[in-house]
Amino acid sequence: MKTLKLLFLILAIPLFNACGLKPITSEYTFVKTDIEDVNLDELGDGDVLIYNGANILHTADNTARLNVWIDNIPLGQIRPSEYAILNFKPKSYQFKLLHIDFVNMKSEHTVEINNQTKVIMIKPTVTSNKLEITNELPKKFEKFTYAQKR
């Protein structure tokens, strides 16, 4: 019985790690800030916070990592409970999102960024990816970390 459990464990570990998405190198300059400095009132006028709002269904099996491209320029990888702040000019942008859940889940989103745009939430879903302009910081934002350039 112990041998069967050990065999199952050995087979299950690679299965969970197989969905790990390799990060892409960012070509953007992040607006660096400490978490204490992030204030919704200071965002906008081009400064936009982008965060990964993945839920427990994706974080449990390592499928919550999102590679992001904006106008075909790699932003990099934003992991669950991470955020980045970028400075945008007011215009329309094409976001491409990719996560792996046994297969590549790609999606494209056209986003109109203006001076009132403050917060964009991105997250993987069961069948694709979601992007939404929320203009609100996520719940428990104090637990979020600034995305690293990888």
pLDDT at 62: 74
DSSP-derived 3-state class of residue 26: coil
- Tokens 């719940």 sit at which residue? 139
Residue 123 token pair: 């997250």
Question: In this predicted model, what pLDDT tens digit does every residue of 3-58 receive, in sequence order?
Answer: 766 555 555 555 554 456 676 666 666 655 544 578 899 899 999 999 999 877 66
pLDDT at 32: 58
* Per-state percent for the chain, helix, strand, coil, to nearest 5: 20, 40, 40
Mean pLDDT of 94-122: 94
**10 near 52, Cβ under 8 Å?**
no
Q: Is the pLDDT of residue 93 over 70?
A: yes
Mean pLDDT of 77-105: 92
**19 near 61, Cβ under 8 Å?**
yes
Q: Is the pLDDT of residue 137 over 90?
A: yes
Mean pLDDT of 94-108: 91
CA 29 to chain centre: 16
**84 near 147, Cβ under 8 Å?**
yes
pLDDT at 103: 86
**27 near 86, Cβ under 8 Å?**
no
Residue 110 token pair: 């056209």
Q: How many CB atoms lie within 10 A of CB 96?
A: 17
Mean pLDDT of 80-93: 94
Mean pLDDT is lowest, of 6-15, 75-84, 113-122, for: 6-15
